[in-house]
Structure 1
Amino acid sequence: MGPVLVVEDREQLAAMLAETLTREGYAVEVVYRGDEAIDRIAHGPNLLAVITDLKLPGADGLEVLQAARRRDPQLPVFLITAFATVETAVQALKLGARDYFPKPLEMARLLVALRSAASARGQLLALEPAPGAPTLVGESPNFLSALEALRRVAPTEASVLLLGESGTGKELFARSLHAYSPRRHGPFVAFACAAVPETLLEAELFGYERGAFTGATARHLGRFEQASSGTLFLDEIGEIGPGVQVKLLRALEERRISRLGGSGEISVDVRLVAATNRDLATSVVRGNFRADLYHRLNVFPVTLPPLRERRRDIPALALHLLSRASAKNGLPLPLLRPSALGALVLPPWPGNIRELANHMERVAILSAGERVGPGELQLSRELLRQGWEQPEVRELALEFAGEEGEELSRYVLS
């Protein structure tokens, strides 16, 4: 496991924290300035957690928190604050901090919180993902349930079936599963089954020899061979027809395929991850999907929740997606005000993470380097009001808006 980074300018408190954490079995690094912490987070090895004071020289604790969110949105950050700044610390919780601890510090409470966060964090770090592993953002119970399923199944060879609405991040989840698996140094090949006509699907999956059909001027390796020693991700698996279903079942059971126009069989070594937004069990009952293939795919099903069922994750996701979009486009990062974070909770986001990502890229372009309030988000007033009319959603939006709750209320209802 990585070390705990302690960021505290008072040397006596820093020494006490380091001594206590070391005695509890944690590796500890100490820095005394916020800018030093930001540099360590950005360029050093993975950390288990960050414990930072709110008031620091060089950069404050909120800037340290933002640096941690940019590096890894799942990195637990704990804030230490004086009683006079508790409101600021609570606002930091809504921006992604794991917890805050007022001074004088209660070490027992800090250790309990750290132990809980470090347990889950250590399990993920112990898997040693491949470089460039995608970041999965969220702390909602249904999302954490899916993340725990990933942790359990990633080290195995089991087939995985990802279920969920369009845009819920099934391919990203599949890439993460590959990155944490023993096959992480092999290829990851993604293929959307609905993207090609049924007549070409077999050729794309299993390949073909030269002359197999008109236009086949050279041998073509299908996705199964391309993914050799790695992971094959088949999206929209429910769209394939009965003929290809038979051949897919045989490939999975016997680990052998035949290219179109070929005379022999070829051994394949792939791990299959499939995804669908359909109810495959219903498709089986209706005779549209083979029961034996369904059971072969459904060894380890994982359901990814829609965004409307994990609204508490939306602000953290938005910050992550905004940072990514700004970096991609070479633009300075906009600052989302608390009222904007509250507003983002209100719409239903039917396109899920894909829709949110596209919207945050638009914000990154239109508001580069600026402070962003509810108006600058350009969200549909009708959708905002629909969310506002739901008491639980309104309460969550006001929680994230904090002291800017009245401004958010005026904007939504005006």
Structure 2
Amino acid sequence: MGWAPEPSSSAAIEKSRANGLLPAAGDGSLRGVSAPTPQPRTARALKTGLHRRVFLEEDADGVSRVVKRFEGRSLWKRLVGGLRARREFALQTALAGAGAPVARPLAVGRREGAWEFSVEYIEGALTLADLLAGGTPPCAREELAQALGRALAALQEAGCDHGDLHAGNIVFDSSGAAFVVDFGHATRCKELDAARLTHDLVQLAAATRERVPPSLRWRALLAWRCALTEPVGRDLPPLRELARKVEAAAVVWRAQVLFKNRRRWLRASGLCWRLDHETLAHRGLPADHAKQIASELAQDSVQRGPQPHPEDDQLEIRLFEGAAPLRQGWVELGRALEHGLPALTPLVLREGANVRAAFALPRGTQALVAAEAARDLERMALARLLAGRGLEDIPTSTPLWRAPGGELLLGPEARLVIRSQHQGPQERRGG
């Protein structure tokens, strides 16, 4: 089925132009958007949510584009999806016209009953999250940090407050140039004050502080400040004072994000559980194998010994059985993953009279009786790691696990306690 652009009233279009969401008449407004009828040849999922999907699509002519599709079962969700698709497309069109580092918008419309819009594919696209996970950078890390700072400054010079800046929304092309994507929470203002300018910096620092050293964060901040013109950055404090404020605010923001993620980790939703099986693929576990493990956890007795991992011969899967503390431990290790901490990876949880859970861990990992059994230097390293992420140290009576390479891993007995902001000079250093 081809695309069917939604007719918009003149009043709505003029209101959007007045708010800066649409360019001026004759300059690429929605009425001027072409309505191609692409015949997709291949599609690869990039991101999946409850009501929207992002995927890379290649048409019959070999042209690649990124499609964001808004899906909803109810009429209300479909109406809201249409509004979001048109709004985000219009905003990105306006930003591209202003010279902001965004992918060029292509078309917006409905296909197969769902609204979607497409943007140009960035050649060699690699997100900051991919790089932090071990991807090969197109150039030196210092150059990438500077490119990120300049891109954020250019986006704000165009009047955009992104509102959801994290490692997955920063994309680098094959030359190392930075682009910003996903404008679902973005707004465009005629003028950004100091609070709005630093808000994106705080979000990005909070999302990456566990894996990006302070020196690279400083390079990005310096490049950002140098790229801002005087009218835009006139109300900002001196650079070093600004850096201290951003780092301190990032610790607080990160704690809030982690608490929110913890609250929704086990929310009761059939659709959410279905998506959880799909997201397990990002942890290296296929959805069909996740369902197989879930059925094993439902048996009268579970196999306590290690099982081979279906995708990685360096990992194994172990099943645990216990009471309520095991359920909390499963949640805690989910938080540990959010922090980027070394821990057993939670895979599947089954609740009931006896809680059962499946975890992935390096093959040959051994359990220690208690944290105090670890060597002092190892314990100190773990304590610094936790403190640098705004967390309390693990009590010495807590059992830990040791990977074959000697690294200490947090197990389901661990409990992560968020430090208050005034407690840690480590937070202020942003380690």
Sort the TM-score into its range (normalised by shorter chain). under 0.3
Q: More strand by proportion, 1 or 2?
A: 2
Q: More helix by proportion, 1 or 2?
A: 1
TM-score relative to the length of structure 1: 0.27
TM-score relative to the length of structure 2: 0.26
Higher relative contact order, structure no. (Cα contacts within 8 Å, ≥ 6 residues apart): 1
